[in-house]
Structure 1
């Protein structure tokens, strides 16, 4: 995942480290948000965009909403646990205190193939 500011400058980048760190919360989105908050010295990342290969899970969408990101861009949908339109749509829940713009399905086929290859190597 990458986090970019309003001028499209990359502020943070991260990849999934759950297995490496023995940490179930070490998803790429969470790590990029943590890194971005440190760089910006603010936990609110107003005006920023997160770009991810796959639709975020509920945990990551919670962090995205709490960080007040403006936009989420992702490639492949996660039909088993996605929280930005597939299974849940937390980004559009008006009961929450922040909504964000979604740009789903960017290079969807390529992202899906990339993830399938990644998981094939893991098994």
Structure 2
């Protein structure tokens, strides 16, 4: 599953819950409701937020791959073993930093775009613009 389309669904004009991961999950459920999600990896340019991360794992996804860390709202560092039994028993593999340089470039261009007001001057924007491309 590739979580895509975030820029078009950045919450400015649409539903704040319509993150790319949620939209991709809805499309997948609509078209392939009988898939075994434990066998499918989710790929995202940005680390999933807490809402998206828990939605994905509650729906059975066990491998989450992302390129760029979300220092403001990333949820993949959640310690599942410290939570209730429903979460504590889940074996989730998180693979960070895949194609990080390309993702960083994408987000730097996004935050430098004068037409973009989404998360302008946020901790994520500031952190991203301070990073150096390798």
State the partner residue of 2:109: 117
Q: 1:14 aligns with which of 4, 8, 23?
A: 4
Give aligned pairs, total.
108
Contact 2:3 2:44 in 1 (8 A): no
More strand by share: 1
State the partner residue of 2:32: 40
Contact 2:64 2:95 in 1 (8 A): yes
Distance 1:73 1:38, change over 3 A: same
Q: 2:43 aligns with which of 42, 45, 51?
A: 51
Give, in angstroms, the shift of residue 115 of structure 1. 1.2
CA RMSD of aligned residues (A): 2.1
Give, in angstroms, the shift of residue 13 of structure 1. 5.4
Runs (4+) of structure 1 exceeding 3 A deviation are 18-21
More helix by share: 2
Contact 2:4 2:44 in 1 (8 A): no
Secondary structure, aligned partner of 1:46:
helix
Tell which structure's C-alpha radius of gyration is larger: 2
**TM-score for both structures, normalised by structure 2:** 0.70
State the partner residue of 2:61: 69
